[in-house]
Structure 1
Amino acid sequence: MKLRYLIFAASLLLSSCDDFLEPESLSTFDTNYVFSNVDDARKGVNAIYSHFGQDAFRSRLSNNMTGNTDIERQSGWTSNGDRYQIWNLEALPSNRDLEIVWTFAYQAIRDANIAIEGLMASGKLESNDVAEARTMNQLLGEAYTLRAYWYSMLTYYFGDVPYIVEAPKAGIEFNLPKSDRNEILSQEIQNLIDVEENMLWADQVPYGIEQVNREYTLGMIARLSLQRGGYYLTPELTKQREPDYLDYYQIAKDYTKKLIDLKDRELPTDFRQIFLNQCKFISPANSDILFEVPFAIGNGDVGWNIGITVEGGTTANHDYGSGNNYMSMPPTYYLSFDTADLRRDVTCGLYKINQEFEQEFIEGNTNISQGKWSRHFLDNPPGASTAKGTGINWPMMRYSDVILMYAEAENELNGPTAEAQEALKRVRRRAFDPALWPSRVDGYVAEVAGSKDTFFEAIVDERAWEFGGEMIRKYELIRWGIYSEKVEETVEGLKELADAAFNGTTNLPDYMYWKLDESGNFTILNPNRRVVAPPDDTWNQEPFLLDLHSDEYGYDQWITRDWANYINGPQPGVVRYIFPIPASAVASSQGTLSNDGYGF
């Protein structure tokens, strides 16, 4: 599928460029001509996808800018560099990463607006040619959905922003003031509601889940609705949600239920295979992933700055190149899993690949990686000196997300009904061996369904276990209004683990013991418990929880400092996750934009 898609993409480019994600800007072409026929209209919509291939998305929005949370972390206080400023919530208006995201977001929106206007004016949406009308309506849905994604991100990172919905043309004023983020989201949700019924399912479009499809758009209606109905940060640094928030939970329930009713599918039983497929360039329709960004070979940063560490280079004894993970996972997250949960060892990487192409234990507990991806899973090694550009696709939404959004919305509206409980059970069944379903699924869900609040807490937990490493947790904590609370729980949990390990009172692994077995497979003796000593000297000893303690500071500094501004920032107990509008955007706005509020 991957090869066919790239061959197809190459034939659609608007210039001689050989990468689907880097076509020439559509603005240089006559839109009346471009959107007069299916083939050229496809090229016009491809221009919107092109911005996924820029650093604004492939490294920033997809992963680098999505921490710190209760399940991901990185130390921002160790540097004044751009990404460190963002991790530490102290980004300046001159921050280059913010400028890149702002710039390419509005370029993607510009190209979406060009496509929307061109398609609407083409007369082809109501064509007598049924196939032509279906394709053109599908393209319109893609354009609206991609625009909605970028506005969702802009409102998460910058709050109120200019709302531009017209294509660039003479006489149009584009130095617009900020619009209310709730008005933006409400309109984008309505746009998707208006177009989704005329879109095509993933198994009806040429490139399946590597192309925006009706499943993803239905899921985006729900995701945007939960964002709109959730909490947000005001310029006065207070958390707030609108009085009509339940209306948006109802929309989320209705449209997740619509997808479940119209296009249900069984969740794949092999959790690891979902992500291994991405590393093998396999993109099955009617499965878990609804839409994934289609990175070409030579593009994309999955397996370079996210995933299991691979030590490569010219001196390495393999040709897989080098990859690391910018966001690690704290031991509290690893230990939060039920020890029988099959998702844990897929999600949390406790090993790396060394230059000898052997697995060995990670260097300290601050390097637990996102184990769902790695460049060493690739069938064709990209080269000893390679780093970026693995071509591994990035998941934008999975069906399990839709099921859990349905459970969350139903619980918020009606409490933990039988329907909400069954949705939670569907996701948990895959996580455990069927022999454990009576206790880990049925018994667990019955216990947490005692009240609306306990069921909500179970949803919060389940989404952490299901989507770890997929870098959507930040947005969930924001809309739930519990961002500061959850990271404070993480810090206190790490301190408790450190104290117990140092005092010798823990039953958890203060050290971990590992080795390569006779077949060369990486094995950990005690992933869940403390052992006094290994059975023989073939095991390597590595400090785990004991490594959280510091004789000098009491705790390793990252524990007390990584989340400090998330707990006791300008407004204690409220995370200032909104960033300043880039200075370049303010300067070029002719006085319509400024950085006011939020303590800037």
Structure 2
Amino acid sequence: MNNFIKKTVILLIAFSMNGCSDFLDPNSLSTYDTDYLFSNLDDARKATNSIYASFGQDAFRSRLSSNMQGNTDIEANGNLTSTSARYELWGLRAGENNSDTKVVWEIAYKAIRDSNIVIDGIHESKGYSSNDIVLVAGLNQLLGEAYTLRAYWYSMLIFTFGDVPFIKVAPKAGVDFNLPKEDRNVILSSVIQDMIDIEPNMKWADQLPYGIEQVNREFTLGMIARLSLQRGGYSLKPDLTMARESDYLDYYAIARDYSNKLITLKDRALPVDFGQIFRNECEFITPKNSDVLFEVPFAIGEGDVAWNIGIRVNGGPYGTGSNYMNIPATYYYSFDFKDKRRDVTCGLYERDVDFVQQIVSVGAISQGKWSREWLKVAPGKGTSKGTGINWPLLRYSDVLLMYAESVNEISGPTAAAKEALSRVRKRAFDVADWPTKVVQYVTNVSASKGAFFNAIVDERAWEFGGELTRKSELIRWNLYDVKIKETVEGLHKLADDAYYGFGELPDYIWAKNNIDGTLTILNRDYKQVATPADPAYIRYKWLIDIKKTSDPTTYNSFIETNFSAYTFPVKYISPIPAVGIVNSLGVLKNDGYGFTN
């Protein structure tokens, strides 16, 4: 993370985070002279940085960004009977007093409040209406950051709580902030338009001092497309039905046009090495004009990447890191065996206390894109949280796939849509395999609009596994229940095939430890019938471990507990936290969705 934003965010935490339970209280507004503050770029920059401070709170780094985005068909966790807050969320049992949803509600509205302070402050300042071209251009960039960050937080509030209060002005005396819920589609339409209006006046990442650690024009263009697909997609209604608005194609058109605008104005080649994208984050490298368009900038001592998500590290000079969201074996084996993304995305090993790689169980495949072992400087024994590793919010490959999806929804699999999909797949395979894995594959899935859509659903899974975007995608596609059912059924089949000796996938895996502490796995993708000639190989239970060998009619608990609470359609909406209900003075209540006050 760059030092300027790091230091400014730390200084502004008091400005941004004061008074957790009174986020709508006008008295919490800073007493600074706002006209002065927003008429010079240095102070306006500092005020805008206060919005970023919300990313540094547990509500985002340990909750909203990762833990609250499961369970899905590609990222899952079990033990849903636990009483801790995150397990209540995964088990769809979160109530008004769930501590995780409480902090997300509070921090989201603080970020929105700080965004509104910047937006109103700049619009009302003398500097913004001045003839100073440099000042106005700088203030427009800051406006773009504030509008985009506000849109992001509203998007996540809607995915979490459904309809929510829509606050668009900064705290001012005499303004009533106890607002009722607003229709989520009204909110999304409004914030999308805000970004559309401001993005031409924003700067590209390579024009900004902090590059992809700062909200930039390409990120805003991508967010217009992403939120337009959310607006054009399905959502759960209070009567527990899934529905979308009749004007949904208008928003697919916006997604098409604005993803295409980025492709046209600021195209870039996808980096060849898929794994290096995420190693860059572990090594604090932030390339511009590459795949990552924006990543949340964490300071050293902040951020939980490679602590609660990533390769497990159980001790040693790099400290300890766990992984709360495991990879189902069905997802691992959904990849083409030649797809280079699979072994980047799915971690089949962990580091033990001696920093030696050890095979994990089939129910504990981890998010392999990040690991604290790749930090350039070992943080030391006893360290855990606060790795400082940034978290990606949007990549260019996402823009390409959003373009392909939106074009297909409107016009079917056109040549342009097929080319966008092909660009993403080309990186996944060696050039020698392109004729079959890219050209022929894309030709085959382009036989119909439906087949091409299904290919996009699959490609997004293979491209973004571990980045915790899947839940929101399944919601807007109205596929959450379908994919959960497919996952459970698929896991049962993998277990049955292994137990009864069917199929060609490995019921056991043979692996050996090397002198350098690494692990060699002999047979990831096939049954190894004979004992290997090398005596260093040890046999481990693999797919056969999904079924309880003591009772062939039952399956390992991680299957049943991962998805046991998932009635259909999946009731992913959480109740508004009690603090929001109380502070609204009777305006808000938890009605619908089967909630009871």
TM range, normalised to the smaller chain? over 0.9
* SS of structure 1 residue aligned to 2:387: coil
Q: In the alignment, which residue of structure 2 is the partner of 1:507?
A: 504
Instruction: Write out per-residue CA displacement over residues 444-499 of structure 1, whole angstroms, 9 at most, x where no aligned residue.
Output: 00000000000000000000000000000000000000100001000000000000
Residue 332 of structure 2 corresponds to residue 334 of structure 1: yes
Which of 266-275 and 70-79 deviates more?
70-79
* SS of structure 2 residue aligned to 1:195: helix
2:578 to 583, 588, 593: 583
* SS of structure 2 residue aligned to 1:276: helix
User: Per-residue deviation at 1:442?
Assistant: 0.2
User: Per-residue deviation at 1:78?
Assistant: 2.9
Map 1:193-208 onto structure 2 (within 5 A): 193-208=196-211
AA aligned to 2:123 is M
Residue 384 of structure 2 corresponds to residue 381 of structure 1: no
1:65 to 45, 63, 68: 68
1:82 to 82, 85, 89: 85
User: Per-residue deviation at 1:522?
Assistant: 1.9
Instruction: Write out per-residue CA displacement over residues 372-396 of structure 1, whole angstroms, 9 at most, x where no aligned residue.
Output: 0011110011110110000000000
Cα gap change, 1:114/1:55 in structure 2, threshold over 3 Å: closer, same or farther?
Answer: same
Which of 30-39 and 372-381 deviates more?
30-39
Partners of 1:495 and 1:154 lie apart in 2 by 35
Partners of 1:423 and 1:458 lie apart in 2 by 12
Residue 285 of structure 2 corresponds to residue 282 of structure 1: yes
Which of 489-498 and 546-555 deviates more?
546-555
Q: In the alignment, which residue of structure 1 is the partner of 2:24?
A: none
Instruction: Write out per-residue CA displacement over residues 402-457 of structure 1, whole angstroms, 9 at most, x where no aligned residue.
Output: 00000000000000111110000000000000000000000000000000000000
User: Per-residue deviation at 1:227?
Assistant: 0.1
Normalised by the length of structure 2, the TM-score is: 0.95
Partners of 1:525 and 1:513 lie apart in 2 by 6
Q: In the alignment, which residue of structure 2 is the partner of 1:315?
A: none
* SS of structure 1 residue aligned to 2:180: coil
Partners of 2:331 and 2:397 lie apart in 1 by 20
Q: In the alignment, which residue of structure 1 is the partner of 2:346?
A: 348
Partners of 2:121 and 2:446 lie apart in 1 by 50
Which of 422-431 and 501-510 deviates more?
501-510
Partners of 1:134 and 1:39 lie apart in 2 by 13
User: Per-residue deviation at 1:28?
Assistant: 4.3
Cα gap change, 1:22/1:393 in structure 2, threshold over 3 Å: closer, same or farther?
Answer: farther
Partners of 1:587 and 1:184 lie apart in 2 by 23
Partners of 1:73 and 1:275 lie apart in 2 by 21
User: Per-residue deviation at 1:558?
Assistant: 2.4
Instruction: Write out per-residue CA displacement over residues 260-309 of structure 1, whole angstroms, 9 at most, x where no aligned residue.
Output: 00000000000010000000000000000000000000000001000000
AA aligned to 2:400 is I
AA aligned to 2:578 is A
Residue 404 of structure 2 corresponds to residue 407 of structure 1: yes
Map 1:214-293 onto structure 2 (within 5 A): 214-293=217-296
Q: In the alignment, which residue of structure 2 is the partner of 1:325?
A: 323
* SS of structure 2 residue aligned to 1:397: strand
AA aligned to 1:355 is V
Residue 305 of structure 2 corresponds to residue 302 of structure 1: yes
AA aligned to 2:443 is A
1:473 to 470, 476, 483: 470
Instruction: Write out per-residue CA displacement over residues 488-546 of structure 1, whole angstroms, 9 at most, x where no aligned residue.
Output: 00000000000011111131011111113355432110011111132332102111100
Q: In the alignment, which residue of structure 2 is the partner of 1:114?
A: 117
User: Per-residue deviation at 1:559?
Assistant: 1.3
CA contact (8 A) 2:77 2:562 kept: yes
CA contact (8 A) 1:221 1:255 kept: yes
2:454 to 446, 457, 460: 457
CA contact (8 A) 1:309 1:369 kept: yes
- Listed as ranges, the gaps of 5+ residues in structure 1 are 313-317
Partners of 2:124 and 2:97 lie apart in 1 by 40
Q: Which runs of 4+ in 1 moved over 6 A?
A: 20-26
- Listed as ranges, the gaps of 5+ residues in structure 2 are 20-27
Partners of 1:264 and 1:270 lie apart in 2 by 18
Residue 184 of structure 2 corresponds to residue 181 of structure 1: yes
Q: State the superposition RMSD in angstroms.
A: 1.7
Q: In the alignment, which residue of structure 2 is the partner of 1:540?
A: 538
Cα gap change, 1:240/1:441 in structure 2, threshold over 3 Å: closer, same or farther?
Answer: same
Q: In the alignment, which residue of structure 1 is the partner of 2:25?
A: none
AA aligned to 1:345 is D
Q: In the alignment, which residue of structure 2 is the partner of 1:592?
A: 587
AA aligned to 2:347 is G
User: Per-residue deviation at 1:33?
Assistant: 2.3
CA contact (8 A) 1:21 1:295 kept: no
Cα gap change, 1:225/1:369 in structure 2, threshold over 3 Å: closer, same or farther?
Answer: same
User: Per-residue deviation at 1:76?
Assistant: 4.3
User: Per-residue deviation at 1:554?
Assistant: 1.2
* SS of structure 2 residue aligned to 1:285: coil
Percent identity, aligned pairs only, is 59
* SS of structure 1 residue aligned to 2:314: coil
Partners of 1:269 and 1:368 lie apart in 2 by 25
Cα gap change, 1:48/1:358 in structure 2, threshold over 3 Å: closer, same or farther?
Answer: same
Partners of 1:327 and 1:418 lie apart in 2 by 37
Residue 371 of structure 2 corresponds to residue 371 of structure 1: no
Partners of 1:370 and 1:202 lie apart in 2 by 28
User: Per-residue deviation at 1:126?
Assistant: 4.4
Q: How many residues align?
A: 584
User: Per-residue deviation at 1:319?
Assistant: 1.4
User: Per-residue deviation at 1:565?
Assistant: 2.3
User: Per-residue deviation at 1:561?
Assistant: 3.0
Partners of 2:13 and 2:274 lie apart in 1 by 40
Partners of 2:408 and 2:176 lie apart in 1 by 44
Q: In the alignment, which residue of structure 2 is the partner of 1:561?
A: 561
